Chain A
Amino acid sequence: MRSNGSMESMLRALRYQATAERRERTLQNIFRAMDEVQEQVPAVRRVRIGRMGVHPAATRFALAAAVILLVFGGLTFWPSGHGSRGQWWLGSPAAWGQEILHWLDQTEAVVYRQRVGFASDYGPPQMNQGYEIRFNAKGRYRRDRYDNGVDLANVQWVLADSNDLRMIEVSHEYRCYFERKNEGYGFVEDIMGQMQSYVQLLDRADRILKTEVFDGRECVGFEVRARYGNKPKGPFDRIWFDVQTRLPARIESHYVNASFDAGRTLIIIHDQFQYYAQVPVDLFTPEIPAGYVRAHPDDIRTARDRQVKGEMVYAEVPKGLKEKAVAALAEAVCGSYRQNDTTVSFAKSAWREDSGPAGAPVTKWYILRGVLPSGPFEPNDRFAVTETTVDGANRTYRFRDYTGSSQPRHPMLDLLFLADMIDRADRFDAAVEIDGISCCRLEISAKKYGDNPDGMIHRIWLNAATNLPVRMELELPRRDGSGTDRQVRDRFQWNFSLPDDYFMPKIPAGFAPAEGKE
């Protein structure tokens, strides 16, 4: 027994098709009928596109655009005043510019895709794998995130709620959802206004691009360069119109951001536009899948990370790099770096910290005394650290001795500790440049060595030639969850020549012992 569905499928297959000649003949007959209808309409009542009663501002724009483009465009934008062979974009803008604005006015909702990528002079643009599908209507917004380019990871709705905005976010990745009122970071965008602005920007279009096919649709593009100080390589935008529908089909924003990544240009592409004359309400109605918990994805991730601790991500760090880095540190005679406003210098058995203003410096010397441990700098009870502090501001000095676990840690200890973690790095970048030095870069989660918070990450840049640190960072999440702090050690120098007495404390004449606890 056939089901209704299978019967419908069979019936759908019962199709007829007219021959091409018959179709063309029919079409010509219809055209003739159309001509007859046109002839019957009195000339005074015949509607002309250029006189359509659309938005007066749009009309003014379209006419102004025509004039401006003809005068300033530098190219013959509409050479003959009439389109040829269906190339409507060569026709009068009083018709098509106006028409586009009219139809954008009629549009109540738009759905489109946003992708981000990079372009350079050395190859085709490289688009990120992930993308977003964005839904935009008046007072209603939605953004679907496909982080890996395949799976829907996250959906966010932003809806007008009396005088406020209500944001609902569903994380499919963590099977949870949460809600906020008036969220600053909620997705809100006026793509229709943006497109109308683009159409109005055509009066500044520099050139018409050759037609290209995007997603199977032939499109014609216009390039508008922002004229910031006549920079020849300033940011520019391209808007492409579907040759058939004449509606915007693709918008490319090309940014120049040299400080971000020299030689590459950031591109944001909006495409795959779908236009709706009426708002498809179901697309803007939040849906919470059954079984999802009410929680923020960050909280779920924290809990999950705790569960899977010890099963971290491991990057492919070159074999032997850790050993080379440890050996280079161990062989270092001396080194120095800057941390905040303090310069830390160190040798095997001593180190010093210089801070404070030039006129009133504060210097601390640390000297290891006693029987040194077999490992390079590990503290034990058999030796001590003597700290000498000279305070230039207060003209005082102080001595302190530390033994056992209370000893201040030699700066090299941290460096060696992290060097020893190199083969457990979460991320490894083989070739980066920092401060003009070719380096490799590693990221190591602090979870790799202890019960540390999410987002606590060490970053190390190692000199590719010497395997010694060039820069180190520690990202530390704040306890109140308000963000992160970053501790930076930079300006590393290694194995430079120092005066023989550089690590010997010097008490200037006239300085008095500091009062207080020893």
Chain B
Amino acid sequence: MLEDRRLLWRLRHGDKDALRLIYERYEGDLVTLAANLLHDPATAEDVVQDVFIGLVRTVPKLHLRRTLRAYLATAVANRTRDHFRKRSRERLAPIEDAGQVAADMDGPVQIVGDGELVHQLRAAVAELPFEQREVVMLRVHAGLKFREIAAHQKISIKTALSRYQYGLDKLRLTLNSEVSE
């Protein structure tokens, strides 16, 4: 945490090496978070880019009250929510397309690993309501505490915990039914 604060201090003073270090440290997790939330790997890196551009613009006034990881993860979630809302006004990609996207190894963002279970899991995640998916992904891929997730979604901790549990239950059910078929 101290290292992050120190890197931000350097970034605030125009040090590009510090920015590169922050990017290299968190980009992988943030792309994974965005891709899982959006269910659209191609857009995930754009979201991350927007978040970092937002960071360099706000860093002179930024007073971090939590970890940099948590700050960036919630920024990704916010941007993702914006993308999601924009897309929901159009038409969501059908779930069957998910496997096609993942299998597209020539894209700028690729899924790590492959296999039937990964395919099923991706599809199951895409089926979760956005609020549940966000809680699950912020918890699993960004390591946020339920207190932080609750503050981000402006809900109680109890609700955040419930959404997390419902999310996992649904994923479990979907996967079990896939296996039994």
Contacts and interface: CB of A to CB of B under 8 A. Distances in A.
Partners in one complex: yes
Interface of A: 1-2, 4, 7-8, 10-19, 21-23, 26-27, 29-31, 33-34, 37-38, 41, 46-49, 52, 86, 88, 99, 102-103, 106-107, 244-247, 275-278
Nearest to A19: B108
Interface string B19-45: 111010001100110011000010011
B109 A16 contact: yes
B175 interface: yes
Contact of A103 (B6, B35, B49, B137): B6
B5 A30 contact: no
Given A2-B175, A10-B117, A37 B56 contact: yes
Given A8-B168, A18-B108, A22-B108, 15 more contacts: A11-B136, A12-B140, A14-B36, A17-B110, A18-B45, A18-B109, A26-B27, A30-B23, A49-B13, A52-B13, A103-B6, A106-B5, A246-B6, A276-B2, A277-B1
A7 B171 contact: yes
Interface of B: 1-3, 5-6, 9-10, 12-14, 16-17, 19-21, 23, 27-28, 31-32, 35-36, 41, 44-45, 48-49, 52-53, 56-57, 60, 108-113, 117-118, 121-122, 125, 136-137, 140-141, 165, 168, 171-172, 175-176
A30 B2 contact: no
B52 A13 contact: no
Given A7-B168, A30-B56, A38 B2 contact: no
A278 B66 CA distance: 12
A33 B52 CA distance: 9
A62 to B, nearest CB: 15
Given A16-B31, A16-B35, A30-B23, A8 B111 contact: no
Contact of B176 (A1, A33, A52, A246): A1
Contacts of B175: 2
A30 B36 contact: no
A271 B118 CA distance: 42
B175 to A, nearest CB: 7
A30 B44 CA distance: 15
Contacts of A41: 60
